[in-house]
């Protein structure tokens, strides 16, 4: 039998070569080159013949494929070797405290951060799960890919019954097939996804699946969900680049309006979104995966840009996410919350209105 481990763990030069090959054929490459494709006449701007594109005025990646691939070599090797950075205990709640916090919010409008972009949001008596990634690897073929550093606050088996499942895009760290397959009550969960992603769920036994285009709206048991633009991309393999749409969402009932961001870069579209949907009560914003800026700025905001989105949306409270769970870029693992706090303070958000949750922390939405 062919033995992978001695080759992959041996000569460094071969490690790098094999990693790059594996990356090309196994992982989606966020931030890769966008192939030119004509607009489909009579459809919105973001509809093109091979799928979708970002809103007008968005940055377009100009780096080489070689630069993009080389930027992910370290992440693949970390998965193979089992390396993962360690998050300070100051940012993670113990299982006992997670359970205590969950008990205190029972029956209230509240949320719990499970890690990365996964939240349990309790709104109007319904439980919403966002971007479920609750397993160990963000890849289609473990261990060849990024390895989770911080466990999820709740295991799949500890989740409450989910009423609404919302997914922003189909990258592995936001759409985890193992989590999706393991959820119970599939025929009762309302799944809301961007265009082109519905089949992923119906093939796995879900029956209440709604695909939304940007600015389209659906209502589920008293909660209105509207998809809005994000500046990112999609794909789970080598041949499905941007075939499915990506989106952020506004969740709203009679008392609360919550913005849940996809991965995104910053661009002029946020002023437009703010004018059309703002203000919001809470904005859940990604603050990690931003270095090096020469490559990441096309698809991921840094903490300062995250705060800027909050300002554009006229968000009363901004909530940091998408950091401290899995290392997908080059910034120090705990830099995002420090930078987020500094920028938030300078822009009028204090500790009461700029939340840096611990993984597993629950808070009531007043």
- Catalogue all structural domains in the chain, each as residue range(s) with its CATH number: 89-364 (3.60.15.10)
Asked if residues 286 and 322 have their Cβ atoms less than 8 Å apart, the reply is yes
Would you state the pLDDT for residue 105? 98
**CA 62, CA 9: separation in Å to the nearest integer?**
33
Out of 9-13, 97-101, 246-250, which region has the weakest mean confidence (pLDDT)? 9-13
- Indicate if the pLDDT at residue 66 is higher than 70: no
Would you state the pLDDT for residue 36? 60
Place of tokens 């499905």: 240
pLDDT in tens, 215-240: 999 999 899 999 999 999 999 988 89
Would you state the pLDDT for residue 126? 97
Out of 114-123, 137-146, 159-168, 241-250, which region has the weakest mean confidence (pLDDT)? 137-146
Would you state the pLDDT for residue 144? 81
Tallying the residues shown for the chain, one arrives at 366
pLDDT-based confidence at 80, cuts 50/70/90?
confident
Rounded average pLDDT over 335-356: 98
- Indicate if the pLDDT at residue 117 is higher than 80: yes
Would you state the pLDDT for residue 85? 87
Would you state the pLDDT for residue 69? 65
Q: State pTM to two decimals.
A: 0.91
User: To the nearest whole percent, how much of the chain has pLDDT over 70?
Assistant: 86
Would you state the pLDDT for residue 13? 52
Out of 55-69, 190-204, 340-354, which region has the weakest mean confidence (pLDDT)? 55-69
Asked if residues 84 and 147 have their Cβ atoms less than 8 Å apart, the reply is yes
Would you state the pLDDT for residue 237? 87
Sequence-ordered alpha helix ranges (H) in the chain: 4-8, 12-26, 65-70, 73-81, 95-104, 177-182, 198-202, 269-277, 293-296, 303-312, 335-346
Rounded average pLDDT over 124-150: 93
Mean pLDDT of the chain: 89
CB atoms within 10 A of CB 38: 8
Q: List 218's β-bridge partners, or say none.
A: 225
- Indicate if the pLDDT at residue 326 is higher than 70: yes
Q: Give the Å distances, CA to CA, from 108 to 25, 134, 164, 219, 365.
A: 45, 24, 17, 20, 8
* Structure token pair of residue 115: 């890690």
Question: 12 versus 248: which is more confidently predicted?
Answer: 248
Would you state the pLDDT for residue 32? 45
Residue 108 backbone dihedrals phi, psi, to 5 degrees: -115, 160
Rounded average pLDDT over 107-128: 98
Rounded average pLDDT over 291-307: 95
Give the containing element (helix H, strand E) for 244.
none
Strand 110-115 with 118-123, pairing: antiparallel
Would you state the pLDDT for residue 120? 98
User: To the nearest whole percent, how much of the chain has pLDDT over 90?
Assistant: 78
């Amino acid at each position: 039998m062919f033995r992978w481990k001695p080759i992959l763990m041996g000569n460094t030069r071969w490690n790098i070569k094999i990693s790059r090959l594996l990356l090309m054929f196994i992982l989606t490459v966020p931030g890769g080159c966008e192939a030119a494709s004509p607009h489909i006449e009579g459809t919105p701007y973001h509809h093109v013949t091979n799928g979708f594109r970002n809103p007008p005025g968005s940055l377009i990646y100009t780096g080489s494929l070689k630069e993009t691939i080389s930027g992910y070599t370290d992440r693949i090797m970390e998965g193979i070797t089992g390396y993962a950075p360690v998050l300070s205990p100051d940012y993670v709640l113990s299982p006992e405290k997670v359970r205590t916090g969950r008990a205190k919010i029972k029956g209230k409008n509240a949320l719990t951060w499970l890690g990365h972009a996964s939240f349990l949001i309790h709104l109007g008596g319904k439980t919403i799960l966002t971007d479920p990634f609750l397993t160990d690897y963000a890849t289609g073929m473990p261990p060849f890919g990024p390895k989770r550093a911080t466990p999820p606050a709740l295991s799949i088996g500890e989740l409450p019954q989910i009423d609404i499942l919302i997914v922003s895009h189909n990258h592995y760290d936001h759409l985890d097939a193992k989590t999706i397959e393991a959820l119970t009550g599939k025929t009762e969960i309302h799944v809301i996804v961007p265009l082109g992603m519905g089949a992923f769920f119906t093939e796995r036994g879900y029956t209440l699946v709604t695909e939304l285009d940007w600015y389209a709206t659906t209502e589920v048991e008293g909660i209105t969900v509207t998809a809005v633009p994000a500046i990112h991309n999609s794909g789970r393999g080598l041949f499905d680049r941007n075939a499915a749409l990506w989106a952020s969402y506004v969740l709203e009932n009679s008392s609360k309006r919550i913005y849940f961001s996809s991965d995104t870069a910053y661009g002029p579209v946020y002023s437009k979104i703010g004018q059309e949907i703002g203000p919001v009560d809470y904005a859940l914003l990604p603050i990690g995966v931003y270095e090096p800026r020469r490559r990441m700025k096309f698809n991921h905001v840094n903490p300062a840009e995250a705060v800027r989105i909050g300002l554009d949306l006229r968000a009363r409270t901004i909530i940091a996410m998408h950091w401290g769970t899995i290392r997908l870029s080059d910034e120090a693992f705990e830099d995002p919350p420090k930078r987020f706090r500094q920028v938030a303070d300078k822009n009028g958000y204090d500790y009461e209105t700029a939340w840096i949750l611990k993984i597993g922390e629950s808070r009531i939405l007043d």
